[in-house]
Amino acid sequence: MRQRSGDSTFDQRTLFDIISYKKVQQKGVLTGRELEISYSRIKITRSHRVLVQENKTANRFKRTRMQIETVVGRMMTDIKASNQSLNATYPIRKHTFPVPALTAKIWCAVLVIECILIITLNILTILTFARTKYLRRRSAYSLIHVAVADLLVGSVTLPMNFYLLGGLFRFWGPITKTYATASSTVHVFTEMLSLFALVVVSLERMCAMVFPFQHRTAGSVTYLVTFLTTWLFAIFVSVAWLCSLLYLELEASLYVWVPSLIFSILIIGVSYSVLFIKVKWQSRHHKRQLDKKANKREKELAVTLVIVTASSFATVTPYVAIQIMNFMLISLSFNTLYTALVLAYANSFINPLVYMLRMKPFRKAMVSLICRTPLENTHLISSSRTDREFVTHC
């Protein structure tokens, strides 16, 4: 026989040889019609086999395609859920996803370090004011208020953000939409409260220098009403953000949130600029009456104001810039987003370093608190006129 294994078709010569061989055995002869019918039957049989094979291949391909579509669908669902959770947490309409798990672990570690710094420094700040009678004066009320607001950022917002970030990358349990919404609302509230507290500090110090008589006559009720107002403003912005997530578009909250951020930064900058100009004007106007200690105090105050203004702008401005970029529909990467967030959170542990450690009496009181040494025995607190003025104005 001339048929080869693996051939897909039969030629007429091979068919004639096969039939002739069988007819010779049967001692018969095929006619042309019989040869044509036999050839047609073999073609039909062969075509049927090819069709069955093609159907099997098509079914196999269909099953494979369905499996691929299922896997891709699950991946897209996970990515969409992650994007929704991230968008629900932070108002970023466009960002690149996904990112490597190692990158997420690094950001989680950064958040943990920031959380420890914020909680430790602000608790030390509050305890130092509570323990040291010399520092418990009205001029320190606003600084204590800042420490409380920053402590909320470190003890509530950062842990929630840490759990959210780990959940997005499947480090632990899944993140629900309710948790993402709650985390975003708490984030907005604490960040705005911390920023508004800084605004109160800048305004209080400007009033102490520009309007000294009115500042001295202000009672504790005035401070209490001012602090309550900052909490109400922070609640208003966070409620507007929550309503936009639940009932409106995401952009609706940005019309309240972004102007509040920009306006707060402008107030801080203007207040410290006015205070700096006032100090320089007084130093020139009363140049002959100033001694060396007063000149030193003026320089220390000027340096403190520069550090305060620069740190506020350096930490908050990138975060505000990202919110403005949302209106321009500019795509933002995951690393860019979290860099701005980490800088914004950093303002909560920079505040104690800038506002407190620049005050020599407070620095000595904090060292005494950490080392557990009595202030009365070590004479850590100076009662000189220069230190009292520096505590009041710085």
pLDDT at 365 over 60: yes
Q: Indicate the burial class of 308 (C-beta count within 10 angstroms; 0-12, 13-18, 19 or more).
A: buried
pLDDT at position 298: 58
Residue 267 CA: distances (Å) to CA of 9, 106, 198, 264, 313:
88, 35, 10, 5, 12
In a domain, 111, yes or no: yes
**Residue 11 amino acid letter:** D
pLDDT at 377 over 70: no
pLDDT at position 47: 63
- Domain of 322, CATH number, reads 1.20.1070.10
Residues 6+ apart with CB under 8 A from 121: 349, 352, 353
pLDDT at position 28: 47
pLDDT at position 3: 44
In a domain, 10, yes or no: no
CA distance 394 to 388: 10
pLDDT at 113 over 90: yes
pLDDT band at 2; cut points 50, 70, 90:
very low
In a domain, 348, yes or no: yes
pLDDT at position 381: 43
**Residue 93 amino acid letter:** R
In a domain, 86, yes or no: no
In a domain, 162, yes or no: yes
Q: Whose structure tokens read 């009595």?
A: 374
pLDDT at position 115: 93
At residue 332, φ and ψ (nearest 5 deg) are -120, 135
Helices 250-285/292-327 angle, 10° precision: 160
Residues 6+ apart with CB under 8 A from 363: 356, 357
pLDDT at position 227: 92
CA distance 260 to 252: 13
**Residue 150 amino acid letter:** D
In a domain, 174, yes or no: yes
Mean pLDDT, rounded, for 304-328: 77
Mean pLDDT, rounded, for 202-228: 83
pLDDT at 216 over 60: yes
In a domain, 380, yes or no: no
CA distance 22 to 77: 65
pLDDT at position 219: 79
In a domain, 15, yes or no: no
Q: Length of the chain, please?
A: 394
pLDDT at position 153: 92
CA distance 192 to 233: 8
Q: How many separate domains does the chain show?
A: 1
pLDDT at 21 over 70: no
CA distance 356 to 363: 7
H, E, C per residue of 158-171 = HHHHHHHHHHHCCC
Residues 6+ apart with CB under 8 A from 30: 19, 20, 23, 38
pLDDT at position 88: 47
- Calculate the average pLDDT of the chain: 73
Mean pLDDT, rounded, for 185-202: 89
Mean pLDDT, rounded, for 110-114: 92
User: Which of these ranges, 12-26, 303-317, 326-340, has the smallest mean pLDDT?
Assistant: 12-26
Q: For the stretch 75-92, what's the b/e string if a residue is b when 16 or more beta carbons lie within 10 angstroms of its beta carbon?
A: eeeeeebbbebbbbbbbb
Higher per-residue pLDDT: 98 or 370: 370
pTM of the model: 0.69
Residues 244, 199 contacting (CB under 8 angstroms)? no
Domain region containing 280: 102-371
